[in-house]
Each structure stands twice: as C-alpha cells, then as structure tokens.
Amino acid sequence: MEQNYEIFIQLLAALAIGLLIGLERGWSGRQEEEGVRIAGLRTFSLIGLLGGIWAIISIEFGEWVLVAAFLAISILIIVAHVLDARKSGDLGTTTAFSMMLTFSLSAWAAMGYYNYALPASVVAVALLGMKPVLHKWVSNIETEEIYAGIKLLIISVILLPLLPNRGFGPWEAFNPYWIWLMVVLICGISFTGYFAIKHIGNRLGTLVTSITGGLASSTAVTLSLAEFAKKYTAKKLFMGGVMIASSIMFIRVMVEVAVVNPSLLTTLWIPVVIMFAGVLLGGYWLWRGSSDRTSVEPELELDNPFKIGMALKFGFLLAVIMVLAAAMQDIFGDQGIYVLSVISGLMDVDAITLSLARLALGDLSSEVAVMGIVIAASVNTIIKGFIFAFFVGLKESLQLISLLILAVIPGIIVALILI
C-alpha cells in the first residue's frame, strides 16, 4: 500500500512538471491558431506523464528502457520540429528542447527525486517566461562589457587553478590563489550592482539607484550624488541616497565574511545588523523628508568592475592589506590590527574585511577580527559624510555626518560588549 502511494506521488509530480511547463508554452503561443503550434498544454502534460511512466517501468526492467524511450521521443520531437520549421519558417528550437527537458525532469521526479525535479522545472518556466526581459538585457550589453567579462573569466578559469595555494613572503601572508579568488568574488558582487544600476536603478529614482549602486560601490554612489547635490536644492534627497547606499555596504561585508570565514558571523552579525538598520533608517528618513524625491532622478556612471585594470588594482590592495595585517599583528598585537582597520576603512572596507576574515582562520582571534571589521565598516561609513561635505560644503552636510556617526555608534558599543 505504501509503495503504491509513493508511485502515485511520483507520477503526480511528473504530471505537474508537464502541466507547469506546458502552461507557460501554451500561454506564450496563445495567439497562434489551434493546430498550428507544435505543442501546447496537453502535449506537455502527456510528455510529463510519459516520462514518469517510463521511469517507473525502467526500475523494473532496467535503465536501457528509459534511454530507449527518451531517444524515441527525441526523434519524434526533432521530426515534428523540422516539419514545423519547413511550414512556418520559424527556426526556434526552444519548444523542442522544452519538450525534451519535460520528459527528463518528469522521469527524474518519478525516480524519487521530485524534491529536485520540481524546483528545476520552476527555474525552467522562469527562464522561458522571461524571454522578453532576457533579450532586452542582452541587447543592452555593450561590446566592451562583454570583452571585459570574457577577459576576466579567461584569466580566472585558466589562471586560478595554476596559482599556488600557499603563503609567500613575510609572515607567508601573500597567497596568490586566495587573493585572486577574492578578486573574482568582489568583482562578481560589484557587477551585480553595476548591472542593476545600468538596467534597473537609473530609471527608478534616487531610492532604488542608491540601493543598487551601493551593491556595486557605495563610495562611487556618494561621489555621484554629491555632484548632483551641487546642482539641485534637494540636499536631503541626496544625503538620504548616500546613507542608503552606505547601508548596502554592510550586506557586502556579511557576504564576504560568509564566504571566507562563516564562523565569524556568530558574533559579527549583531553589530553589523544594528549599524545596517541605523544607517538605512536614517537614509530613509532623509529621503522621506525631501519634497523633491520624485522630480529628481540621478543617473550614476559606474565603471565596469570586470575590467582587468580594476581587478588588478583591488588584488594589489588586498595583497598589501594582507601583509600589513600580518605585520601589524606580529609587531603591535591587537592594537596594530585596530589601527590598520581605521586606516583601511578610510579607503576600502572589502580588502580589510577579507584579510581579517582570512587571518581569523589562523592565529588571529575571532574577537579581534570581528572588532577590526566593525571598526573598518564604521570608519568607511562615516567617511562618506566627509566626502559628501568636500563637494557640497561642511555646513550643508552636518546633518548627514551626524546621522552617520549616530548610526554606527550602537554597533561599535555592542561589538565591544560581545567581545
């Protein structure tokens, strides 16, 4: 009885996959006349059920049965596609491959892996349904962005496995493999924000622009918004944007630590979340208090983080910070780490965060690493206010500077208590 119930669930999952993909394919071709489409909701549902049945049969008679069934249905799909292409002139193969995928996922589900097959089918439906969006994104990608990304990928995929994964130099702090791996990580995070700014943020006003831009570079957002603040009277609007972008930096810090040394998050997440919330709420308060928030839409110009020059510069900075961190700890102890955190926070928070998270895997205590990261993030946040003031004026920026300081102080206090 229990076995029959399991077979029923597996077949139901296989049918659900066919229905799900068939619904999307039927909807996308809803304007075509009946009988013209190569496959619709019913066909995909039958393919899903067919894949499930043959998968269950193969359990009894051998895997060759399922392979033969897949080859047979693939031949039918290819023949149908060729005949349809000759008749309509449409050479698109999306539906044909979707049918093969439906059979495969349904068979996978019927073999007991429906916990994986069903989510995979949802992803497939999302990709099929996002055709206009994906095509628009691709059409907006510039040639230099493609080339920059390809160059970085080639260097990463080919060069990374060849780099030695061990320490060199003083204190053996220079690890080529790890440094370049972190360069790829930071470039990937920054490119997410860069892509979002280019295709989403710049069209949706200061709030969304600050959020997406902060993922790429909160310092670049601060510089851009400061330039806009000189031209417009909506100072509060742009100060709010600076704070919102700065709050996203704390998310970057959490992601970086989670990748390098997730055990630090046990203590680190509390002060970081407190500072994130304080800076974000302060920025939202300023943004809400501006009367011009819908009339001004700044457009940010960010450099493509996949450029080799930018990647090499960050890699060099990270290598320097790694060596300095090891030296400061060896010569001056914990106080040396804190001094370096302050200095590094004035320039960049990513390098010191990655360095301390890495060192905490060895001799550096987790408490010192956490405090160093909190200090660097706090300094990097406050310095945004002074950068803004340099362009706009100290008097006009006092509110921003005060709010940034007030937002990070609770996080520093909590970090001191925790360690």
What are the angstrom distances between the C-alpha of 228 and each of 235, 237, 252?
9, 10, 25
User: What distance separates the 2 farthest-apart alpha carbons in the chain?
Assistant: 82
How many Cα atoms occupy the beta-carbon half-sphere of 132 within 13 Å? 1
* Inter-axis angle of helices 308-332 and 143-154, nearest 10: 50
pLDDT in tens, 362-410: 878 889 999 999 999 999 999 988 988 888 888 888 888 999 999 999 9
Burial label, 181 (beta-carbon count in 10 A; 0-12, 13-18, 19+): middle
Q: Between residues 265 and 155, which one has the greater pLDDT?
A: 265
Sequence-separated (6 or more) residues with CB below 8 Å from residue 360: 261, 263, 264, 366, 368, 369
Q: Give the DSSP H or E segment for 313.
A: helix 308-332
Q: Specify the residue for token string 């039927």.
A: 26
129-143, 276-290, 377-391: the lowest-pLDDT one: 129-143
Q: Specify the residue for token string 């979002």.
A: 196
Quickly state the pLDDT bin for 278 (edges 50, 70, 90). Answer: very high
Spatial distance between the Cα atoms of 314 and 307, rounded to a whole number of angstroms: 11
Q: What are phi and psi of 35, to 5 degrees?
A: 95, -10
Residue 252: which of 322, 319, 352, 320 has the closest Cα? 352
87-101, 192-206, 395-409: the lowest-pLDDT one: 192-206
Amino acid letter, 22: G
Spatial distance between the Cα atoms of 324 and 171, rounded to a whole number of angstroms: 10
Q: What is the pLDDT of residue 133?
A: 64
What are the angstrom distances between the C-alpha of 397 and each of 213, 233, 323, 360?
21, 13, 36, 37
Q: What is the pLDDT of residue 281?
A: 92
pLDDT in tens, 16-30: 888 888 887 777 665
Quickly state the pLDDT bin for 208 (edges 50, 70, 90). Answer: low
* SS3 label, residue 168: strand
Tokens of 90: 């449409």
Radius of gyration in angstroms for the set of CA atoms belonging to the chain, rounded to a whole number: 27
Domain ranges of the chain: 2-137, 142-418
What are the angstrom distances between the C-alpha of 348 and each of 145, 234, 314, 334, 385?
24, 28, 10, 20, 15
Q: What are phi and psi of 291, to 5 degrees?
A: -85, -10
Q: What is the pLDDT of residue 274?
A: 94
Mean pLDDT of the chain: 79
Spatial distance between the Cα atoms of 113 and 10, rounded to a whole number of angstroms: 9
Q: Between residues 391 and 227, which one has the greater pLDDT?
A: 391
Q: What is the pLDDT of residue 270?
A: 94
Q: What is the pLDDT of residue 302?
A: 60
Residue 391: which of 245, 276, 219, 250 has the closest Cα? 219
Q: What is the pLDDT of residue 409?
A: 94
